[in-house]
Amino acid sequence: MPAEGALPVVRWLAAALPVLAVACASASPDSVDSPSGVDRCACTTLALPPAPVVDEPGLLALLDTVRAALYPEQADLTIGAELVTDLQFFRAWTELDTVGAPPRQRRYVIQVDPTVLADPPTPVALAAVLAHELGHVDHYVTLDTDAFVAFAAWYAGEDPLTSAGLAEYERETDEKSLARGCAEGLATMREWIYAHCEGDVEAAKRFQYYSPEEIAAWEEANGSCR
């Protein structure tokens, strides 16, 4: 499912369809809502670890911190974290055997490529991108099974280098992180990502997601927490 980079969504969809046995139709996501009951600068007051995260337990601990502070409405959800190779950094995933369950009873997991922790970004940067990934979960729980699979089909059919719809969706998800005060970390994370990829992967990331310059412009228009 959606993540910071090119994802194997086609493989996910191919595996999911036999499990779900439902018909899919292309569909684009709804617009992003503003956070409710969350301090718009909450990201700046997170209790972050003093050193970069380098292992899975540290990743899960940071995810729990970010979720509790920035997405308290997700307290009833099962959301884990795990390391998965060849992701090109990050992915908000849904366990296949739970896709057919009611949205808030599914098992979600934020997957991170081990290359991220091998040369880790700063805790503030990692927290900001985890806020982005939790923003995807925020969207998933609004979708019943048919809508969720339709969304996966739509996402799988989009070209990350050219799809305006995909870029709009990912940038709207960026705005969930930005609206919670994570601008500084998200800008830092993007610089880290640009430094760790090249070619079409880098081009797709620059196209799909807010760049540091665009984040600064967003802050100027919406207010800064720095």
Sheet strands side by side (includes 90-94): 78-83, 107-112, 90-94
The span from the CA of 154 to the CA of 166, in Å, is 9
Q: What is the pLDDT of residue 3?
A: 58
Do residues 131 and 180 lie in contact, with contact meaning Cβ atoms separated by under 8 Å? yes
Give the single-character DSSP code of 112: E
123-140 and 56-70 helices, crossing angle to 10°: 60
pTM summary value = 0.87
Q: What is the pLDDT of residue 6?
A: 40
Q: What is the pLDDT along the chain (226 residues), one digit of tens a residue?
A: 565 544 444 455 544 544 443 333 334 444 444 566 789 999 999 999 999 999 999 999 999 999 999 999 999 999 999 999 998 899 999 999 999 999 999 999 999 999 999 999 999 999 999 999 999 999 999 999 999 999 989 988 999 999 999 999 999 999 999 999 999 999 999 999 999 999 999 999 999 999 999 999 999 999 999 8
